[in-house]
Amino acid sequence: MECAFSTLGVPGMPVADVVALATATGYAGVELRTHPEEPVHLGLTASERLAVAREFKRAGVQVLSLAGYTQVAAAGDDLPVLLELDRLVRLAADLGAPFVRVFPGGGDQEPSDADAIAVRRLGAAAHAAARLGVRILLETHDSHRTGVDVSRILGTVGHKNVGALWDVMHTWLGNEEPTVTQASLQPYLGYVQVKDVGSRDDLTPLPLGAGLLPLAECLALTHPDGWVCWEYEKRWYEGAVELRGLLAGGREHLLAAADKQRSDSVR
């Protein structure tokens, strides 16, 4: 198992400090929150992109994914969504990231209408993503919270450069059993995003293993050589404990779960 963390847990941290933090805590990769308020965003110049890519490459830390905010199932014109998605994919290619994250954002539309919009847009973006060596991952989130929801879209798109990002909190909030999520997303899965919380009514982030999410069960269903990314939502919960002091312990928790998974599989 390869471990990454999301910069959502260290909002606004300069790239050099993110790289140093990953190196110091043993994380092989980083998921970069891609937003105008962050150091990495869609407006970076060519020289700025090169500098970011070099910073990560020099340290041997993988830019796993760009966590963008494009809503591929949102109502409205396709063109603005497709242009934003194209910019996100091109930025990922420039930084050497194999994945970009997008949201459904279907709102209160009929599920079939939201599905059709997302299929059309993701299908249109897939070929350019393939040329650039990037996979677009639709996260289990908002209007398409479960693996079953997301798989409806991905199965219709039917392109290898359009896949899934399994956010374990959202499938849990959607009352979907991990085995059902895994079965739905397995053909499309890019990587798994983990976190932990105390209850459905209080989503303040907690150290991994300190909350109620079925992390061990979810991790047992993932590929032993796959990527797992800890998304600690410090950006939205100012009172949450600082992530920096938790990272090393979180990685140990993930690796221990992976070791247990391997030992159980050979029994």
Report, as an integer, the average pLDDT of 108-116: 97
The CA distance from 64 to 66, in Å, is 7
pLDDT 10s digits, 16-44: 999 999 999 999 999 999 999 999 999 99
Q: Decide which of 266 and 6 is more confident.
A: 6
Q: Is the pLDDT of residue 262 over 70?
A: no
Q: What superfamily does domain 2-265 belong to in CATH?
A: Divalent-metal-dependent TIM barrel enzymes (3.20.20.150)
If you search the block for the tokens 């039917």, which residue do you land on? Answer: 158
Q: And the tokens for 95?
A: 């930084």
Q: Is the pLDDT of residue 263 over 80?
A: no
Q: Are 10 and 18 in contact (CB under 8 A)?
A: yes
The CA distance from 233 to 152, in Å, is 28
Of 72, 61, 49, residue with least CA distance to 227 = 61
> How long is the chain?
267
Q: Is the pLDDT of residue 124 over 80?
A: yes
Q: Are 93 and 135 in contact (CB under 8 A)?
A: no
Residue 258 has what pLDDT?
A: 75
pLDDT 10s digits, 160-212: 999 999 999 999 999 999 999 999 999 999 999 999 999 999 999 999 999 99
Q: Is the pLDDT of residue 266 over 70?
A: no
> What does DSSP say about strands 135-139 and 99-103: parallel, antiparallel, or unpaired?
parallel
In order, the DSSP letters of 39-86 are: SS-TT--HHHHHHHHHHHHHHT-EEEEEEEEEETT-SS-HHHHHHHHH
pLDDT band at 261 (very low <50, low <70, confident <90, very high): low
pLDDT 10s digits, 66-92: 999 999 999 999 999 999 999 999 999
End-to-end Cα spacing for the chain? 19
